[in-house]
Amino acid sequence: MDIIREIQNELTEIKDFPKFGAGDSITVSYKIKEGNKERIQQFAGVVLQRRGSGATETFTVRKMSGNVGVERIFPIASPFIESIVVTKRGAVRRARIFYFRERTGKSARIREKKNFAHK
């Protein structure tokens, strides 16, 4: 089993993305092919979870489009992901925040992590 995982990690190229986790607001830039044209589209939302490890790791991002919640699952090793930018660090207590789906309005806010600098 470890041999398969090692070969998988050698074959897939994992880019150097910033560290992020559940509750963080991120913007994912990914390539979309339409016919013979290729363009980059932004998907900005809140990370609900990260799962898996190595080449099979994925993360789920949720955003509100109008009044409809849209979720998308991205493989971290996808060649279509151009970049990931962390816009806000969220302070949540859980690794998977599926309760966030039912929240609307003020209860859908996530506290922001504050960086404390020692003087």
- DSSP output for 38-49: EEEEEEEEEEEE
- Residue carrying the six token digits 């003087």: 119
What are the CA-CA distances from residue 59 to residues 12, 16, 35, 45, 95 (Å)? Answer: 17, 15, 27, 12, 11
Provide the 3-class DSSP secondary structure of residue 95.
Answer: coil
pLDDT given for residue 67 in this prediction: 87
First to last CA, the chain: 49
Domains and CATH numbers, the chain: 2-92 (2.30.30.790)
Its pTM stands at: 0.84
Q: In the prediction, which pLDDT does 71 show?
A: 96
Q: How far apart are CA 81 and CA 84, in angstroms?
A: 8
Residues in the chain, pLDDT under 70:
1, 116-119
Question: What is the pLDDT, as a whole number, of residue 56?
Answer: 86
